[in-house]
Structure 1
Amino acid sequence: MWTDAPIRAVGLVGYGEVGRILAEDLRAQGVAAVLAFDIKNDTALRDHATRHGVELAASHAELAAGADLVISAVTASQAVPVAQACAPGLRDGAWFLDFNSASPGAKIKAGAIVHGAGGRYVEGAVMTSVPPHRIRVPLLLGGPHATELAPTLAALGFKPSVASPTLGVASATKMCRSVMIKGLEAMVIESFTAARAHGVEDAVIASLYETFPGMDWEKLGAYFFQRVIQHGRRRAEEVREVAETVREAGLPPWSAQGTADRQAWVADLADAGVFGAKDAPGFARSEDWRAEADRVLAAVNAKEPS
C-alpha cells in the first residue's frame, strides 16, 4: 500500500532553464534533497548545481532511485524515452510528474510505462512561460493520481489545478492553446520581418493597433523575437508535438507544422551566430524587434541565390 509521506527528495530530469528555476525554488522552499540529471553535463550545469546544493545523478535510473518525486522537464520528443529510462529505478509508489509539452498520446504512453514500473504518473501542462512565474507558473494536472498529488505540489510552492482524472486532457488543453500562442510568435516574426524588408512596418503595426487595441504590438514583437531566438529549437520540438495533437484529432496540422518550421528556421539562424554569441549578456535582449529583424534580413540577403 502506498503512503503519502512528505516529499524529502525531488529528482529533476532535465537541468536547463526550467530545471534550474525549479531547483532554485525547491531549495528555497526547504526541500532537503534535490537531484538532477541532464545529458548535457557541462561546466555551467555543474557550477549551478554546486551553488544551489543540487546533487547530480549519473543516470536517469540513479536519479529515480533517489527521489520521492521525479519531475521530467526535457525537450518534448524525449517525454516517453525519459519515462522508459527512469522506470527501472523508480521506487514503489514514487510520483512522476511529466512537465513536458507532449501530445496526449505521448503522455498516455509515458503514463503506462511509469504505472507499469509501480510509480504514480501525473501529467503536468505548463500553461504559460515559466521564467516570469517561476515555480508558481499555472500548472494543469491530469491522470488518475492528479488529485492526490495536487496538495503536495502546492505545499512545495507550485500552483497546480486538476484538469481531469483522464490522462491526455491537460496536455490537449496545453497543446491546442499552443497552436495559437506559438503560431502567433511565428506569424509576428514573419509578418514584422517581411514588413521591415518592404519598409511598411510602421503602417502594419498601426493597423494592428487599430484592429487589436488591447495588444502592445511593439512589446509583443520584441518579446516574441527574444523568446524564439533563445528557445526556437525547443519550441520547434514542442510545436511538432502540437502538430501530432492536431493529427490525433484527425486534422491535417498545416498551421502547427508551419509554426514548427519557422521556429526551427530561427533556431538555425541563432546557431549560425546571426544574432551574436549565445553566451553574451545581450543575446536576444533587444528592446526593439527591428534590430533582430534587420539581422535576419542581412543573413537572408547574404546568401547566394539558388
Structure 2
Amino acid sequence: MAGSARIAFIGYGEVGQTFSRGFLAHGVAGIHAYDLLFGSGPGSRLEEAARRIGVTCADTAERACTEATFVFSAVTADRTEAVAAEAASWLKPGQIFVDVNSAAPTTKQRAAQAIAASGADYVEAAVMAPVLKPGLRVPILAGGPKAVDAAEALNRLGMNLTPVSEIFGRASAMKLCRSIVIKGLEALMVDCAAACEAWDVKDPVFASLHETFPSIDFHALAADMRERVATHGIRRAAEMREAAEMLAAAGLEPGLASAIADAQQRGARAKPAAGA
C-alpha cells in the first residue's frame, strides 16, 4: 500500500514534520500539508521545512487533502473541533481523518460526529509520548469503529498504532488520565526546585527525597523536567486544560488539572520572534 497511499496534514508543526519524514522513508507516494501560518512571515519557517523534507505546501486545507487517503489533523488542542467541522464540508467517503490532537474525550466525540456527516471515517488517535525521538514509531492509541483497519494500514507504513476501543473518547481518556500524573509531576518538580533555589536548600531537600525514593536522581529529574516544561509548556498547558474539561464532563473536580495547566504555562520558555 505504501506506493499508493497519500498523506495530508492539517497543521504542520513538530508532529507533521516528524511523521512526514517517517512516511517518506517508508515509500509513501506523496504528502501535502496546510498550516494556518502558511503564506505569512511566521509561516515561512514551516514552509521551508516542508520543502526540505519533500512535502508539498497547499494554500488551503481542502487543496492539501483532495487526493489524500489519510488526513492527519495535527493542530493545537483548542482547534481540534473547529478543524474537524471545517474538514467535514469537503472530505469524501473513503478518506480517513486521523485526529492526533491532545483533546478531551468529549471534544473527540464531537469531532467524530462532524466528520461522520461527510461520509469519511474518523479515527481517534492519542499520541502517548513525545514524537521527536521515536518519530513515526511513537506509541499511539487508536479508537473508533475504523481503528483496527486504520492501524493495519498505517502500521504497514511505519506507524505504531494500537486499537483500544471502538468507542470514541476512550483513547483520549487513557492519554489524558496519564497526563494528569506526568504533567503534574513536572509542575511539582519545577516549583519544588525553584523554591529550593530561593532558600538555598536544594541539596538537603533532594537528599531527603532520595531517601524516600532511592531509585530517583532528583537533581537530574528536576533539570530534565524543567527543560521539558520550558520547551513544551504551552502545548502541555493546552493539553491539561483538555484534561480539566474531561474531569468536569465526568462530574469530577477539575481544579488540579487547571492548576497544572497554569504551572506549565508559567514555566514555558518564551518563543523567539520569527526570523530570530
**TM-score normalised per structure 2:** 0.93
- What is the alpha-carbon distance in structure 1 between the residues aligned to residue 214 and residue 135 of structure 2? 29
- What is the alpha-carbon distance in structure 2 between the residues aligned to residue 279 and residue 128 of structure 1? 27
Hey, what does 2:7 align to over in structure 1? 10
Instruction: Work out whether 1:53 is the aligned partner of 2:54.
Output: yes
- What is the alpha-carbon distance in structure 2 between the residues aligned to residue 99 and residue 187 of structure 1? 27
SS of residue in 1 equivalent to 2:133: helix
- What is the alpha-carbon distance in structure 1 between the residues aligned to residue 86 and residue 250 of structure 2? 29
CA contact (8 A) 1:36 1:57 kept: yes
- What is the alpha-carbon distance in structure 2 between the residues aligned to residue 239 and residue 139 of structure 1? 18
- What is the alpha-carbon distance in structure 2 between the residues aligned to residue 185 and residue 40 of structure 1? 30
- What is the alpha-carbon distance in structure 1 between the residues aligned to residue 121 and residue 3 of structure 2? 15
CA contact (8 A) 1:61 1:87 kept: no
Question: Do the aligned partners of residues 104 and 73 (structure 1) sit closer, same or farther apart at CA in structure 2, a change above 3 Å counting?
Answer: same
CA contact (8 A) 2:2 2:28 kept: no
Hey, what does 2:72 align to over in structure 1? 71
Gaps in structure 2 of 5+ consecutive residues: none
SS of residue in 2 equivalent to 1:34: strand
SS of residue in 1 equivalent to 2:123: strand
Structure-to-structure mapping, 1:269-284, within 5 angstroms: 270-271=269-270, 277=272
Instruction: Work out whether 1:25 is the aligned partner of 2:22.
Output: yes
CA contact (8 A) 2:190 2:225 kept: yes
Structure 1 residue 210, shift from structure 2 partner: 1.8
Instruction: Work out whether 1:112 is the aligned partner of 2:100.
Output: no
Q: Deviations over 1:134-171 (max 9, x none)?
A: 11111100011101111111111111111111111101
Q: Deviations over 1:197-220 (max 9, x none)?
A: 011111121122222222332232
Instruction: Work out whether 1:156 is the aligned partner of 2:157.
Output: yes
- What is the alpha-carbon distance in structure 2 between the residues aligned to residue 45 and residue 280 of structure 1? 12
Q: How many residues are paired up?
A: 272
Superposed CA RMSD: 2.0
Hey, what does 1:256 align to over in structure 2? 257
SS of residue in 1 equivalent to 2:36: coil
Hey, what does 2:242 align to over in structure 1? 241
Gaps in structure 1 of 5+ consecutive residues: 282-306
Structure 1 residue 103, shift from structure 2 partner: 0.6
Identity %: 40
Hey, what does 1:38 align to over in structure 2? 35
Aligned-partner residue type, residue 17 of structure 1: E
**TM-score normalised per structure 1:** 0.84
CA contact (8 A) 1:64 1:86 kept: no
Aligned-partner residue type, residue 8 of structure 1: A
